[in-house]
Amino acid sequence: MHPILRRLTGSDRRSIGDADQVAQVIASDADLFGIVFEGMVSGEPVLRMRAADAVEKATRQNPGLLLPYKQRLLDEVAAVEQQEVRWHVAQMVPRLPLNGAERNRAVAILEDFLRNESKIVQVNAMQALADLLGDDEALRQRVILILEQVTEAGGPAVKARGRKLLGKLGKEQNA
């Protein structure tokens, strides 16, 4: 195992370990970024979680790092069912330049994430859907409908985020 990945291993999923420090290192090193990206599909849940955290934080600073991994993020990493990976995937998806087909794929992934039992995954997926809109009016209407449905049916955190997002989209929701 590469030393950068060893820094992300452990036994406690309640701790992020060295994820913040690793994120700082990989934000400016594409080779190490690629190694940590691979950690998101590891067989070890703690490593997957911490790798996803580090990759997401690094791409806040340098979203271009995701470009070579766009298809793997949308296909392979998004298929990981672990909630901590999913909530970070939802945060990263809007950082990708997406063509029409890729945007539709991303929306489908995020819609699936809305069915996750984790409220953090749901709220991050809602935010990502709103962030993906751009100037696509058809997608805007679709996302508003999705957000209205999720907001109506969701728990307190989901309702609060939904009202906020719908308000920003110019569509008030009474929930």
Predicted confidence band of residue 135 (pLDDT cuts 50, 70, 90): confident
Mean pLDDT of 51-66: 97
Mean pLDDT of 25-49: 96
Predicted TM-score (pTM) of the model is: 0.91
pLDDT greater than 50 at residue 174: no
SS (H, E, C) 114-157: CCCCCHHHHHHHHHHHHHCCCCCHHHHHHHHHHHHHHHHHCCHH
When the pLDDT of each residue in the chain is averaged and rounded to a whole number, the result is: 92
pLDDT at res. 172: 52
Give CA–CA dist 165/144, Å, rounded: 9
pLDDT greater than 50 at residue 167: yes
